[in-house]
Amino acid sequence: MTRQQRRDRLIFLVPSMSVLVLILFYPLAYSIGLSFYNYYLPVPRKSFVGLDNFRYILGDDAFWDALGVTARFTSAAVAIELVLGAAVALLLDARIPCRRLAITAILLPMAITPAVAGLLMRWMFESNWGLVNYFLSLVGVRGPGWMGDPLWALWSIVLADVWQNTPFVVIVLYAGLQSIPLDPLEAAMVDGASRAQTLVHVVFPFLRPLVLFVLIIRSMDAFRIFDQVFVMTGGGPGTTTQTITFYNYVMAFRMLRMGRASALGVVTLLILSVVTSVFIYLLYHREKGEW
């Protein structure tokens, strides 16, 4: 490649890099910078306060509560999505009738924006007139107060997230199942392995990288959940569904503390980076002789 060609290729990178700088790097740098200032939105003056905002966040009980809620939500939602997604993917792989129709129907929730999905779920989980409690009443079960009940509010958000995001898991794992080579499967059959043994010892090892990939992506997304919380519960009752992102929203746009909100954003970014790094290490851990 000549120098001229290299330069020409760089020119083609300029538009996309400009967009990246504009929508990613600049806001990130600005936000990090702002986290060192005391900035109350209605008052234009900012004053440099060093690490005070970070000290406030780390000493704030509401932050640790929100982190706990986020961790509980993420682990519950992602676990259910993985198990359910894998089960549905296996079912689709078993060549059920109307498979294509089933795939289309399964993908529909993903096409809806999270805020609209949250609105749908809000009415479905409405305890007096919602569909969920209606169906429960048909089997003789009295549904709980869902979004108004501290024991169930977080579960209503989990179930809403499961409804919307399991299709992503299904589609990734289904694609993975489709790409498993036939030879090991046939060899297992010839060796007399049962279906369960084939699943555990042949299928899942092939799917492992994809499962980890889905785990990383879904964990990152679940950690940042906002729309469903905002629409369905508003962080309540009390703070039982106040996730870290919702708490960040309250700090920035209700209390108008932009400096602190930026510091909280930086802390969240650091937490997510650590968690993602661990997952990536697991995913790309170099075992002897293989990726």
The verdict on 4 binding other proteins (CB under 8 A) reads yes
Cβ–Cβ under 8 Å, residues 83 and 264: no
Quote the least distance from Cβ 261 to other proteins, whole Å.
Answer: 12
Helix (H) or strand (E) holding 48: strand 47-48
Whole-angstrom Cα distance, residue 257 to residue 1? 52
Quote the least distance from Cβ 165 to other proteins, whole Å.
Answer: 23
- Count, residues in the chain: 291
Count of residues touching other proteins (by CB under 8 A):
38
Whole-angstrom Cα distance, residue 222 to residue 132? 23
Residue 284 three-state SS: coil
Quote the least distance from Cβ 24 to other proteins, whole Å.
Answer: 20
Q: Which of residues 135-194 bind other proteins (CB under 8 A)?
A: 144-150, 153
Q: Which of residues 219-248 bind other proteins (CB under 8 A)?
A: 233-240, 242
Residue 139 three-state SS: coil
End-to-end CA distance of the chain: 31
Backbone angles phi, psi at 37, to 5 degrees: -120, 155
Two structure tokens written together for 126:
């409405």
Residue found by looking up tokens 């999270």 in the block: 114
The verdict on 127 binding other proteins (CB under 8 A) reads yes
The verdict on 114 binding other proteins (CB under 8 A) reads no
The binder of other proteins chosen from 52, 93, 126, 221 (CB under 8 A)? 126
Residue found by looking up tokens 């000549």 in the block: 2
Q: Which of residues 28-87 bind other proteins (CB under 8 A)?
A: 41-42, 44, 62
Whole-angstrom Cα distance, residue 173 to residue 222? 18
Residue 145 three-state SS: coil
User: Which lies closer to other proteins via its Cβ, residue 70 or residue 233?
Assistant: 233
Quote the least distance from Cβ 30 to other proteins, whole Å.
Answer: 15
* Angle, alpha carbons 50-54-57 (nearest 5°): 145
The verdict on 6 binding other proteins (CB under 8 A) reads no
The binder of other proteins chosen from 255, 270, 274, 278 (CB under 8 A)? 255
Quote the least distance from Cβ 139 to other proteins, whole Å.
Answer: 17
Selected range binding other proteins among 94-102, 170-178, 254-262, 277-285, rule: CB under 8 A: 254-262
Binding site for other proteins (CB under 8 A): 2, 4-5, 8, 11-12, 14-15, 41-42, 44, 62, 126-129, 144-150, 153, 233-240, 242, 250, 253-256
